[in-house]
Amino acid sequence: MKKISLFLFSFLTISYFTYGQELSYYLPDSVTYNAAIPTPESVLGHKVGEWHATHDKLVNYMQVLAKSSDRIKYEPMGKTYEARQQLVLVITSPKNQANLEQIRQQHLDLSNPAKSASVNVDNMPLVVWMGYTIHGNEPSGVNAAILAAYYLASAQGKQIDELLENTVIVLDPCLNPDGMTRFATWANMHKSKNLVTDPQSREFSEVWPGGRYNHYWFDMNRDWLPAQHIESQNRLKKFHEWRPNILTDHHEMGTNSTFFFQPGVPSRTNPLTPAKNIELTTKIGNYHANFLDRIGSLYFTKENFDDFYYGKGSTYPDIHGAIGILFEQGSSRGHAQESINGIVTFPFTIRNQFTTSLSSLEAGKNLRKELLNYQKEFYQSAIQTANSSPIKGYVFGDKNDKAKTYHFLEMVERHQIEIYELKGKLTIDNQEFESGSAYVIPANQPQHRLITTIFQKETKFKDSLFYDVSAWTMPLAFGLPYGEIKTLNNTILGNKISKVSLAVGELVGGKSEYAYALEWDEYYAPKVLLALQNSGLITKVATEPFEISTANGATKFDYGTIIIPAKNQSKSTDEIYQLLKKEVETNGLKAYALKTGLVLNGVDLGSSSFSVLEKPKVAMVVGSGVNPMDAGEIWHLADQRFAMPLSQLDINNFNNANLEKYNTLILVSGSYNALNKDKIKTWVQNGGSLILIESAIQWGTANGLMNVTYKKPKAKADSTAIMPYSSMDNITGAQEIGGSIFQAKVDLTHPLMYGYNSSYMSFFKANSVFMQKNTNPYSSPAQYTSNPLQSGYISKENADMIRNAAVVNVNTVGRGRIISIDNNPNFRAFWYSGTKLLMNALFFSKVIDAGSAR
Ligand SMILES: [Zn+2]
């Protein structure tokens, strides 16, 4: 009897898996399909859900569908870092296809309050953006997109005709092609002919960094607002071409979970999102519930997830008069995996995503007019809100850093925000802004709410739990001086900027036979220094300020100015001039030809106060246990922005690696128990610079590498108190620092702070490493103020801990230095403010006087 039931079980299991891959398993059976449209299997070479579709096959199928159907237009968006095609299919009725451009223009009028009053939505199609798998290892989305595209191309009958007549669908089948490819390869290469469902099997645990991330290990579902990556930049262009009314965002979560659709936790919705958004999300949710009920799938709503941070795919649409919808499917991760809810098969997960794709379209069709009117009202009310606000605009700009200002403008421009030049001079809060280096964004424009979230500081919240960060005030992140304008008129507002560009740099005074001085304030100064070092030139850094004659007259130079002697170099004075001119001009820098070594004030050029620099040879530990995002941020920074080679030392091979090849080693947050600490200590003692970031500092102190002490909480929790069990999640969650912005006072004379001009800086902190200042008063060049919170949430307990804590500590170990940075200076690649700190650590750690850093 026992034998028979076992036999029956395995028979059922196998047939269930196979059954799960037929088209009939996924598609509604009430519909007939056009046999002239190629099925996924006929092009992919396998059934949907049988294998993980690879990206090249996906692109091929999308092209085939576009060729076979007059409902579909294929639109390329650009390419990823790994040169994969990003694309959308624009799907609508053949009649609409014939008038597509006109439909698009009329649709855009909805988000333009100057035109929208006369727009009649009665016969206007709704625009629905369907987006899948921004996290590459959440594969049910992208594989459901294949089915959705097939369905929309081939379904026949009144229902589909009505849908396509009333809807323009922008189908984005894969938002992260590079990560998705990494994951599909992993899942396919481990698939057994007889599926293995044991969660411990290798199929279900990818190797580091996993497919979630893009090429540089970034979470692309945090980049919609900062838009620092090529994938987001390409997508935003298309998004703003269409300004959809609904945007779907298909994800996966843990295998033991069921299915989630929004609305999320209502109290955690960003207050800038109108209440009507939640109302509409709830109405749409009823359709998902109904469709999932029909196929018997479990789900939940209003828990766990939220719409607070506007950099996520389900939240960014909310600040564009659209409804962003997050879907989360419990993941099979591979092909079929045991869970507490039974075996989760890959086809099952695909079917839920496909089904909610259909429910979204059905909801859109039925709520069409309401959604169109909502978008229209959203933009009309944006203008009204702007008019009643005391803030009429924002002025910003760093006269010492054109490139950073440019990158801010570029980010703002990607969101279709109007920017103007500042006319004349303007002083706000004791900060001076002037024409040429400062810009104005008027608050009164359609993107008013988005502008508000980019500039605002917020420290009061309804809820103390956050799914992601609680603050992202952009000018603080970029380290840009900025101010709120209370009266805006034509004496301030200059020309409108039509296209931002990085100003060309300047080599003042032309060719020199003596030396050049290169200012360190500009963002790309380290890139130019590295180019000079790469060509074998001797370079020095000024550890004292000085004043000297240049073609511009007597000119003051600050700490950190780079000196390049013209003589006694391995290159001719002509070659040096050509190289420096090219580098300075293309990177927006300013350098000066110097004719003499004798200064007007300060130290002469031959003084030992100009320290000879060593070219950074940098390695970073990566691999299992290391935070991939933090490591990826440094890789991306070094590679994309500074053209700096960075060796990635895998944690598993580290103990065999030859460290003598490097003078700088970086450990970002992570767990490093596998590392040979004595090897690192010896390397530092012999002159290496070790940079420890966030939790890596704790590894350093736990292993006796350096002496850093931590702040201790004032009062210990009462161990006798009994708390309501039901309050546990809220109370413990409230102690987490999800990510907030804190102000610190910095010492501009310290080599780690060269190139900064303000004594106060903003740091992004999302951890609970609270360092005491070192006992040596010269070795903590940045320290949080006594009341440092600028924006974001922090509990009272943590606020006590961060008060006056050290941001950076420097310790001398033998001939080497250990630099501990308590926050993430490169957060998500938009924390431009922290870049110089890290670059200073790479270029100047040897310059730090040993006596200052015991
Ligand atoms: Zn996800």
pLDDT of residue 12: 45
Amino acid at 173: P
Q: What contacts 344, CB < 8 A, 6 or more positions away?
A: 255, 330, 331, 332, 336, 337, 338
- The contacts found for 432-439 with CB under 8 angstroms, 24 or more apart, are 433/395, 433/396, 433/397, 433/481, 433/483, 434/399, 435/494, 436/399, 437/397, 437/398, 437/399, 437/402, 437/405, 438/395, 438/396, 438/397, 438/399, 439/395, 439/396, 439/397, 439/405, 439/409, 439/497
Task: Provide the 10 A C-beta neighbour count for residue 795.
Answer: 15
173 CA → ligand 1 middle, Å? 15
pLDDT of residue 460: 83
For 729, the token pair is: 């999640």
How far is Cα 423 from Cα 482, in angstroms, rounded to an integer? 15
178 CA → ligand 1 middle, Å? 15
Q: What is the mean pLDDT of the chain?
A: 95
pLDDT of residue 713: 83
User: Do 144 and 353 form a contact (C-beta atoms < 8 A)?
Assistant: yes
220 CA → ligand 1 middle, Å? 9
**Per-residue pLDDT at 730 exceeds 90:** no
Neighbour-count burial of 429, counting CB atoms closer than 10 A to its CB (0-12 exposed, 13-18 middle, 19+ buried): exposed
Q: Is residue 296 helix, strand or coil?
A: coil
| Residues 678-697, mean pLDDT to the nearest whole number | 98
136 CA → ligand 1 middle, Å? 8
pLDDT digits (tens, 9 = 90+) for 466-507: 778 889 999 999 999 999 999 999 999 999 999 999 999 999
pTM of the model: 0.95
pLDDT digits (tens, 9 = 90+) for 391-435: 999 999 999 999 999 999 999 999 999 999 999 999 999 999 999
pLDDT of residue 722: 79
Residue with tokens 């496909």: 354
**Per-residue pLDDT at 593 exceeds 70:** yes
326 CA → ligand 1 middle, Å? 9
Residue with tokens 């940098």: 618
> Running DSSP on this structure, what letter comes out for residue 432?
E
Task: Give the helix, strand, coil percentages of the chain, each rounded to 5.
Answer: 35, 20, 40
- Longest distance between any two alpha carbons in the chain, whole Å: 101
| Residues 68-80, mean pLDDT to the nearest whole number | 98
250 CA → ligand 1 middle, Å? 7
How far is Cα 291 from Cα 352, in angstroms, rounded to an integer? 9
Is the link from the previous residue into 226 a cis peptide, with omega within 30 of 0? no
Residue with tokens 């995503």: 353
% of the chain surpassing 90 pLDDT? 91
411 CA → ligand 1 middle, Å? 24
336 CA → ligand 1 middle, Å? 19
825 CA → ligand 1 middle, Å? 25
How far is Cα 191 from Cα 582, in angstroms, rounded to an integer? 53
387 CA → ligand 1 middle, Å? 38
324 CA → ligand 1 middle, Å? 14
| Residues 315-327, mean pLDDT to the nearest whole number | 98
Phi–psi pair at 392, nearest 5 degrees = -95, -10
User: Do 603 and 546 form a contact (C-beta atoms < 8 A)?
Assistant: yes
215 CA → ligand 1 middle, Å? 16
Amino acid at 14: I
696 CA → ligand 1 middle, Å? 27
How far is Cα 155 from Cα 72, in angstroms, rounded to an integer? 13
Sheet holding 72-79, edge to edge: 72-79, 85-91, 167-172, 126-132, 246-253, 323-330, 259-261
pLDDT of residue 854: 61
pLDDT of residue 306: 87
H or E element at residue 818: strand 816-821
Between the alpha carbon of residue 425 and those of residues 280, 292, 448, 503, 727, the distances in Å are 46, 60, 24, 20, 54
How far is Cα 833 from Cα 839, in angstroms, rounded to an integer? 11
Ligand 1 ion local residues (Cβ < 5 A): 135, 138, 251
pLDDT of residue 735: 78
Sheet holding 562-565, edge to edge: 506-508, 590-594, 515-518, 562-565, 540-542, 610-612
pLDDT of residue 9: 44
131 CA → ligand 1 middle, Å? 12
pLDDT of residue 422: 98
pLDDT band at 3 (very low <50, low <70, confident <90, very high): very low
492 CA → ligand 1 middle, Å? 44
% of the chain surpassing 70 pLDDT? 97
For 692, the token pair is: 């420890």
